[in-house]
Amino acid sequence: MFSNLAIDVALGLIFIYLLYSLLASVVQEFIARMLNARARGLTKGLRRLLEGDPRRRDHRWFRRFTFFNWFYELGWSIIYFFAPFKGSPFLEKFYDSPSIRHLGENTAASRPAYISPSIFSQAIIHLLRSSYKAQPPTTAASPGDPEMIYTALRDNYLHLAPDTLEHLQQLFDDAAHDIKAFRVELEGWFNETMTRASGWYRKQTQTWLLCLGMVIAAVFNVDSIAIARILMKDKNVRTQLVQLAASRVPAYTAVTDTLISKHLVHKDSSFYRADTSLRVFVNDTSLIGIYATLRNDAGDARNVLGISRGCVADSSNGQVTIRCGFTHPLQQNKRLVWAGWALTALALSLGAPFWFDLLGKIVKFSKEQRTQGAP
């Protein structure tokens, strides 16, 4: 039988993690929009799809080690951030095709964040057909689409990478040189790769949440160790925080459902979409409103806990003394403070849906315990 103390401490901590993980998700979304991260994630997936891995032979011995490989890939990520089509001529040609170019929202975000499988297959067919028509004319009768596609692939008019060319030829053979069947094969290939690209974006988002979690923990002084100790020692604080959680959970239900339904977060942690990259429907005004609400709630939670990094007046010795920094008695050990921030960052990287589901389970468990304990 669990005590009410343990349950209330767990409720208080989970509420804090839910509050700040929601805040981290909203901030991460702002950053993703400013950096056009989804369009870049889609480009990364298409680069892997259409250009293969041209760097797989670079530093083959060093790339066996995860440590060196991480820095190597980080360097190329920075290069691709400023020059997305470097060393990828076919990828640039793909994005320059009318089927893809006209999907961009504006000049600031000229690359789309979402491409449907049918648009992808259409663009590939158009590029292959156009490459055939761009060749010098012959006296032979004009061939049909299957013959044009076959010849364009056989003679590699688009100058495709060897692996990509071979795979397209195999798909065309699997389709028995039928254009409709070939498009179905292309769309299946596209979907498989984009599912993995979604996983790459999801890992990237978790990394962002971990970094943002550390920043938020430091800025708002969300020290998990100090909060747990306060909740265990102070019954009034524990009661007030549980009441605050009970009053805010209905609002967070709507916020969490909105973020999940708009694919800004996913049940597992951060981001996932099974079809391709992502389409976002939550406008900036909604995000700003959610951010303002969470900032206010964070202030309320901080006031309840009494944790502050500001300056307070201390008159305990008969004289008014201004004390600045970590003013709470349980935050005098800086190493423990840093450890508490690190624990908070790890907790926030799990994502708001995780903490929301756990909060619901703890609340249900608490009600069952109270029911069993009632006479």
Question: DSSP state, 84?
Answer: T
Beta-ladder partners of 313: 322
Position 33 scores a pLDDT of 77
Position 9 scores a pLDDT of 87
Position 277 scores a pLDDT of 35
Helices (H), 35-65: 37-51
- Measured between its terminal Cα atoms, the distance across the chain in Å is 15
Position 175 scores a pLDDT of 92
In terms of C-beta distances under 8 Å and separation of at least 24 residues, what long-range contacts does 163-170 make, across chains too? 163/52, 164/50, 164/51, 164/52, 164/90, 168/124
Question: DSSP state, 36?
Answer: T
Domain boundaries, the chain: 4-34+212-373, 37-193
Positive/negative CA dihedral, 91, 92, 93, 95:
positive
Position 318 scores a pLDDT of 66
CA–CA separation, 323 and 105 (whole Å): 52
Q: Collect the ranges in the chain with pLDDT lower than 50.
A: 1-2, 108, 139, 141, 266-282
Position 106 scores a pLDDT of 58
pTM: 0.71
